[in-house]
């Protein structure tokens, strides 16, 4: 099966080539020529497998230039018990009759991005070999917190790769900073940048598009590559856990083969919910896909009206990983809604970048609304949901997950739906203890540092903070250099020369 750009479907590449490139040369995103199909019998067979085996079998249909055996050797490492603390990498927890949370935060960085970023390094190193690339891949990441650590953790000591992460100095929580600056591995580098996230991201983009610099590095045996969420190698691993959720319900006798379940996903970039859409169109019996946003509700408006408008106020919320106005992965859905018409899709994307908005026609809107519902929850509602959920069920949700729970309950109230529903639980509540602790009314009126916050949340919830977070306090910071945005390129150069192959 081949892949092509959303903006030009004539030039086809293998999945390995798509993973090495990240973004297509025309600025589009790589999409499959068609979505592979799983029969109900195959899905029933999958339900007998462990998570790594299930994931390998799901991935093999999308990435067919990799063998199942090859993929399984990756998934066994990526989703091992050493990496994922829970018995199951993606366990389901029943919130109430017919409502389940799929916990995606048991990986090394306590958020769902580990599912993709533990796999991407394996997929990428193999892709370099498959495409005959002998240069070493250099991954540059600009992060506002979560992605940087997940990428570092995934790429640390992976042969044939190096990773350098930039974060805005003072722009992350102390725990987020320590997660990055204490990272082990001989191929990793972390810099704090004096500026905000946008300065940091522009700096990385500038390095990526510097042709002279790329040529100079190529001479020295290096190739720039990206780990951001539009890379096909990040999207495909996310499809597997929707299969896993369905199979778990099947195995536990909660549903019969062929029964539909609805999915709720707290999302910003549309990546996680797009993976559910791909799963559905590959034969997984999913019903409605419910898109949950925070106060940055650009997707809620789009799904309700067909009008996408990024020209709006940007809010910093308690669910920061969803504070996004340009939802990049939506382009992949839009392409399919356009009837795979690459010029029609390109026109929408041009309008978005030039005018900051576009409106889809009635036919596309009807197709969108026949599968997706949407809703949003602001911070106040999010905190209330955390408190109510904790009081009524004992379940402690993080702020992102709480947005999903709130939107789910609105959806059920509006529609009276009694279809079983799975809500993606995207982060450990301990990762956002600063918001979760006051939400359940357990914070006294004094200053807490991040680690006191963890301890107080443990005491209030009777849960244990993940060792990966609590253990940071004892770790030594390896990376403490603060640089200016203008110095980013020079520091990359210095890092690569000092650590020549
Ligand atoms: C990144 C992130 C999200 C949003 O994911 P999308 O890729 O935008 O769907 C939600 N919750 C958490 C905790 C995240 O880190």
Residue 85 is predicted with a pLDDT of 80
Do 255 and 398 reside in the same domain of the chain?
yes
Do 440 and 414 reside in the same domain of the chain?
no
Q: Which of 284, 162, 155, 299 is nearest to 223 (CA)?
A: 162
Cα first-last separation, the chain? 35
Q: Look at residue 219 and tell me if it is in a domain.
A: no
Q: Look at residue 141 and tell me if it is in a domain.
A: no
Q: Look at residue 165 and tell me if it is in a domain.
A: no
Do 393 and 453 reside in the same domain of the chain?
no
Q: Look at residue 208 and tell me if it is in a domain.
A: no
Report how far ligand 1's centroid is from the alpha carbon of 256 (Å). Answer: 30
Report how far ligand 1's centroid is from the alpha carbon of 11 (Å). Answer: 31
Do 412 and 308 reside in the same domain of the chain?
yes
Active-site position among 61, 113, 280, 295: 113
Q: Look at residue 387 and tell me if it is in a domain.
A: yes
> Any idea what the CATH number is for the domain that residue 259 is in?
3.40.50.1100
Residue 173, token pair as written in the block: 């929580």
Residue 185 is predicted with a pLDDT of 96
Do 418 and 385 reside in the same domain of the chain?
yes
Pocket test residue of 234, 400, 428, 431 for ligand 1, highest count of atoms within 8 A of CB: 400
- pTM here is 0.95
Pocket test residue of 271, 277, 332, 426 for ligand 1, highest count of atoms within 8 A of CB: 426
Pocket test residue of 109, 272, 466 for ligand 1, highest count of atoms within 8 A of CB: 272
Residue 257, token pair as written in the block: 């083969």
Residue 499 is predicted with a pLDDT of 67
Do 410 and 370 reside in the same domain of the chain?
yes
Question: 349: domain range?
Answer: 89-110+233-430
265 Cα nearest atom in ligand 1: 9
Do 294 and 417 reside in the same domain of the chain?
yes
Q: Is residue 113 flagged as an active site residue?
A: yes
Residue 226 is predicted with a pLDDT of 83
Report how far ligand 1's centroid is from the alpha carbon of 114 (Å). Answer: 11
Report how far ligand 1's centroid is from the alpha carbon of 219 (Å). Answer: 37
229 Cα nearest atom in ligand 1: 7
Report which protein residue has its CA nearest ligand 1's atom 15: 321
Q: Look at residue 422 and tell me if it is in a domain.
A: yes
Do 318 and 443 reside in the same domain of the chain?
no
* Per-10-residue mean pLDDT, the chain, length 501: 96 96 91 98 98 98 96 96 90 97 96 96 95 93 88 93 94 88 96 90 87 92 89 97 98 98 96 98 98 97 97 91 90 97 97 96 98 98 98 97 98 98 97 94 84 94 94 94 96 85 51
Report which protein residue has its CA nearest ligand 1's atom 2: 321
Do 440 and 360 reside in the same domain of the chain?
no
Residue 500 is predicted with a pLDDT of 58
Report how far ligand 1's centroid is from the alpha carbon of 87 (Å). Answer: 23
Q: Look at residue 271 and tell me if it is in a domain.
A: yes
Do 375 and 444 reside in the same domain of the chain?
no
Q: How far apart are CA 44 and CA 59, in angstroms?
A: 17
Q: Which residues of 449-484 are buried (b: 16+ CB within 10 A; e: fewer)?
A: ebbebbebbeebbeeebbebbbebeeeeeeeeeebe
Report which protein residue has its CA nearest ligand 1's atom 1: 321
Residue 198 is predicted with a pLDDT of 79
Residue 68 is predicted with a pLDDT of 96
Q: Which residues line ligand 1 (CB under 6 A)?
A: 111-113, 146, 229, 266-272, 321-322, 400, 426-427
- The shares of helix, strand and coil residues in the chain, as percent rounded to the nearest 5, are 50, 15, 35
Report how far ligand 1's centroid is from the alpha carbon of 272 (Å). Answer: 7
Q: Look at residue 126 and tell me if it is in a domain.
A: no
Do 268 and 380 reside in the same domain of the chain?
yes
Report how far ligand 1's centroid is from the alpha carbon of 266 (Å). Answer: 7
Do 425 and 450 reside in the same domain of the chain?
no
Q: Which of 118, 131, 97, 135 is nearest to 20 (CA)?
A: 131
The phi, psi pair for 377, rounded to 5°, reads: -140, 130
431 Cα nearest atom in ligand 1: 13
Residue 455 is predicted with a pLDDT of 94
Domains identified in the chain, total number: 2
Pocket test residue of 114, 173, 266, 435 for ligand 1, highest count of atoms within 8 A of CB: 266
């Amino acid at each position: 099966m081949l892949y092509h750009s959303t903006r030009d479907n004539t030039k086809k590449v293998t999945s390995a080539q798509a993973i090495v490139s990240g973004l297509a040369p025309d600025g589009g995103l790589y999409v499959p020529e068609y979505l592979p199909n799983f029969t109900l019998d195959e899905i029933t067979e999958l339900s007998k497998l462990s998570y790594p085996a299930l994931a390998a079998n799901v991935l093999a249909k999308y990435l067919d230039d990799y063998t199942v055996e090859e993929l399984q050797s990756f998934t066994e490492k990526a989703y091992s018990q050493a990496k994922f603390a829970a018995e199951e990498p993606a366990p389901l927890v029943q919130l109430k009759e017919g409502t389940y949370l799929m916990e995606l935060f048991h990986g090394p960085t306590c958020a769902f991005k580990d599912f993709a970023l533990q796999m991407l390094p394996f997929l990428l190193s193999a892709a370099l070999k498959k495409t005959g690339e002998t240069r070493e891949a250099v991954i540059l990441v600009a992060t506002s917190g979560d992605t940087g650590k997940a990428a570092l953790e995934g790429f640390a000591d992976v042969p044939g790769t190096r990773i350098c992460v930039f974060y805005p100095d003072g722009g992350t929580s102390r725990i987020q900073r320590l997660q990055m600056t204490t990272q082990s591995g001989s191929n990793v580098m972390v810099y704090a940048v004096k500026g905000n996230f946008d300065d940091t991201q522009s700096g990385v983009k500038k390095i990526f598009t510097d042709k002279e610099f790329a040529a100079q590095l190529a001479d020295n045996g290096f190739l720039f590559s990206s780990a951001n969420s539009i890379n096909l190698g990040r999207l495909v691993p996310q499809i597997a856990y929707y299969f896993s959720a369905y199979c778990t319900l099947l195995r536990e006798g909660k549903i019969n083969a062929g029964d539909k379940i609805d999915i709720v996903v707290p999302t910003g970039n549309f990546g996680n919910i797009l993976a559910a859409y791909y799963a559905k169109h590959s034969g997984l019996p999913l019903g409605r896909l419910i898109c949950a946003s925070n106060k940055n509700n650009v997707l809620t408006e789009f799904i309700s009206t067909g009008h996408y408008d990024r020209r709006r106020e940007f809010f910093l919320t308690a669910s920061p990983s969803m504070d996004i106005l340009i939802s990049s992965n939506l382009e992949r859905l839009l392409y399919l809604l356009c009837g795979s018409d690459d010029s029609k899709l390109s026109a929408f994307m041009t309008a978005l970048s030039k005018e900051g908005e576009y409106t889809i026609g009635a036919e596309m809107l009807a197709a969108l609304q026949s599968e997706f519902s949407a809703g949003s929850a602001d911070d106040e509602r999010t905190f209330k949901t955390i408190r109510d959920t904790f009081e009524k069920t004992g379940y402690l949700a993080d702020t992102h997950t709480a947005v999903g729970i709130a939107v789910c309950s609105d959806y059920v109230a509006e529609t009276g739906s009694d279809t079983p529903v799975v809500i993606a639980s995207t982060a450990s509540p301990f990762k956002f203890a600063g918001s979760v602790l006051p939400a359940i009314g357990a914070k006294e009126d004094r200053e807490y540092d991040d680690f006191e916050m963890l301890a107080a949340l443990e005491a209030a919830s009777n849960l244990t903070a993940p060792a990966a977070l609590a253990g940071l306090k004892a770790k030594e910071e390896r990376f403490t250099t603060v640089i200016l945005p203008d110095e980013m390129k020079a520091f990359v150069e210095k890092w690569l020369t000092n650590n020549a192959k």
